[in-house]
Chain A
Amino acid sequence: MLGPGTRAGILAEMADGETTRGETAPTEEAAAGALAYLTEMSPDLRGGAILGADGAVLAASGDADRWREDVATLFAVADRASEQPVEQVHVGTEQGEVFAIRQEGMAAAVVTDRFALASLLFFDMRSILRELAAGGDGVGGADAA
């Protein structure tokens, strides 16, 4: 059971309420391709992770366990700041910037250098999650771009 009090539940409690779409769950291969595509599109990006509805890491650069744990912690902390579940998190520090988003029953988080273009990055992350949730490979718009 993915209750709000559990680690996995933190990710499952999506802000947009669209946790079930009747689509097939995204594969790790598709998520890895989507993350690679995002990395290629964003020159400032240092690393990132895409997580499924159950909180499991579908793709990550580096230590997947650390990403799972730290992304869950970030959303847990963000959710505590308000009664409403958070949809996007943007934290800028001297060492870099963190972007995290929950959408379509999934979550994604990336770390970039400072002064990354926030709206563009959030747009790309949102597009990738939407594409993955629909059963695509996360780079559906690549040909059109």
Chain B
Amino acid sequence: MPPKPHRVLLDRVSGYADEAAAYMRRRRLARRPFARLYYTGGRASDHAADSVAGGELFVAAGRLIEVAGKRPKA
């Protein structure tokens, strides 16, 4: 017996909502604070916040963010 039409619609909407929630979850995880250094020749290195270099980079970056201040609203 085929499902009632409103059931199909509800299932589809909740499916999209699940997809969107998963996307947002992945995006949050992927956009955690990061420190990335690039060198001549294309080499790059990532430094975790709990490493020594990473910690120092975050402190130095924080000072620059502080000096830049907030963006003036248009």
Distance in angstroms between the alpha carbons of A97 and B68 in the assembled complex: 11
Of A70, A91, A100, A110, the most chain B CB neighbours within 10 A belong to A91
Are A78's CB and B57's CB within 8 A? Answer: yes
Distance in angstroms between the alpha carbons of A33 and B35 in the assembled complex: 29
Quick check: is A81 within 8 A (CB to CB) of the other chain? Answer: yes
Distance in angstroms between the alpha carbons of A70 and B53 in the assembled complex: 16
Quick check: is A115 within 8 A (CB to CB) of the other chain? Answer: yes
Are B39's CB and A81's CB within 8 A? Answer: no
Chain A min CB distance to B48 (Å): 12
Which A58-93 residues have C-beta < 8 A from chain B?
61-63, 66-67, 70-71, 73-74, 77-78, 80-82, 84-93
Main secondary structure of the interface of A (DSSP, over half): mixed
> Which A residues touch B43, using CB under 8 A?
84
Are B67's CB and A47's CB within 8 A? Answer: yes
Are A46's CB and B68's CB within 8 A? Answer: yes
Chain A interface: which size bin? Answer: 35 or more
Which A7-54 residues have C-beta < 8 A from chain B?
15-16, 44-48
Choice from A84, A85, A98, A113 contacting B71 with Cβ under 8 Å? A113
Chain A min CB distance to B28 (Å): 11
**What are 12 contact pairs spanning A and B, CB under 8 A?**
A62-B69, A63-B67, A71-B64, A80-B56, A81-B37, A81-B45, A82-B39, A89-B37, A91-B33, A93-B33, A95-B62, A110-B68
New contact pairs (15) apart from A85-B39, A92-B31, CB-CB < 8 Å: A47-B68, A48-B68, A62-B69, A63-B67, A67-B64, A80-B53, A86-B39, A87-B40, A89-B57, A90-B38, A92-B33, A93-B65, A95-B65, A96-B65, A110-B68
